[in-house]
Amino acid sequence: MRVGRSAALVSFAELGGAEEEEEEEAEEVAAAAAGSDAARFVGAPLVYLLCVARTVRALQHLVGRGEGASGADKMADGELNVDSLITRLLEVRGCRPGKIVQMTEAEVRGLCIKSREIFLSQPILLELEAPLKICGDIHGQYTDLLRLFEYGGFPPEANYLFLGDYVDRGKQSLETICLLLAYKIKYPENFFLLRGNHECASINRIYGFYDEYLSTTLTFLFIGLSPDLQSMEQIRRIMRPTDVPDTGLLCDLLWSDPDKDVQGWGENDRGVSFTFGADVVSKFLNRHDLDLICRAHQVVEDGYEFFAKRQLVTLFSAPNYCGEFDNAGGMMSVDETLMCSFQILKPSEKKAKYQYGGLNSGRPVTPPRTANPPKKR
């Protein structure tokens, strides 16, 4: 697939919790770190990435508040040995799936502190040059994350953009998020993490990352569209860090979904935000002079799936999702000429519990944020 003209990719990224969170509330959002999804092409041979930095201060409360930490645990940023940590995280390649990587509290805290600084230091609008590898949901499937790197090349061999949903449901969320944060620290200008709706404490509690973190010793969006989004300047004006409200622009960018049976805007079965039809995608692209939206957030059979006459593509990078689906995992590559192609991680031969039934079907439902879905606009 060739992206029209010289192109650029736009993605909405890391949203953060407010700095004024109380300590108890910080514990509630302990596993939040960074991330998001959405992508588009247009303009010059650059990839444009909308970044709203995500604070990881709350994570630090879970790994140790400081006053109760030992001197050895009080690791200064400069003492974090990222290379050593990456080496240990990669040593499980070729081992049985699920092999645990030993990490200390101090190392996890160091990852949080340093990655937070990087996320907040980068502007809302980043300009990135192709080539670029783009990956969708991982959901704690660490072995499959390593497979993605084997396919696409381990950093810094390739530049990466991840669209969020790194944790929950899979059994190795801790290893997954730590490797991604370590690569972000090691290669801050070549490795980008966006926030998904599973990078939220309430979701983490329901789907396992919070419990996994507590039981061991430690997500980031899919850009949806919004009826409130009239100009990219609205996103540029977002103050960082910030919490995600139950309604409005920020909520929609994280939670809205495409729906082939809808024209315009419709109610979302998740109980939050909206669904949007192909006509909304076309109007949005035309209004902003774009060619493609790239998002994640939903299981798709072949690892990628087009919508709205190939104007939107959904990526999902966790094959055999939860061990219950027969889906493949996909990764989109954008080369120097802005040609787009897809690399596929095939599902295992093991019979899945469910067969893929298309977008908006089959996937375990992300819990609603609100009891009453918004009204159609």
For helices 173-186 and 142-152, what crossing angle results, to 10°? 40
- Residues 108, 224: Cα–Cα separation, whole Å: 31
Beta strands 191-193 and 160-162, pairing class: parallel
- Residues 252, 233: Cα–Cα separation, whole Å: 16
Helix (H), strand (E), coil (C) string for 189-234: CCEEEECCCCCCHHHHHHHCHHHHHHHHCCCCCCCCCCCCCCCCHH
- Residues 263, 276: Cα–Cα separation, whole Å: 7
293: its two tokens: 């939206």
Q: Could you say which of 139, 198, 288, 297 is catalytic?
A: 198
For tokens 């490797």, the residue is 179
CA dist 70 → 75, 106, 110, 178, 253 (Å): 10, 10, 14, 22, 41
- Residues 327, 301: Cα–Cα separation, whole Å: 4
Our answer to whether residue 61 is catalytic in this structure is no
Residues serving a catalytic function are 198
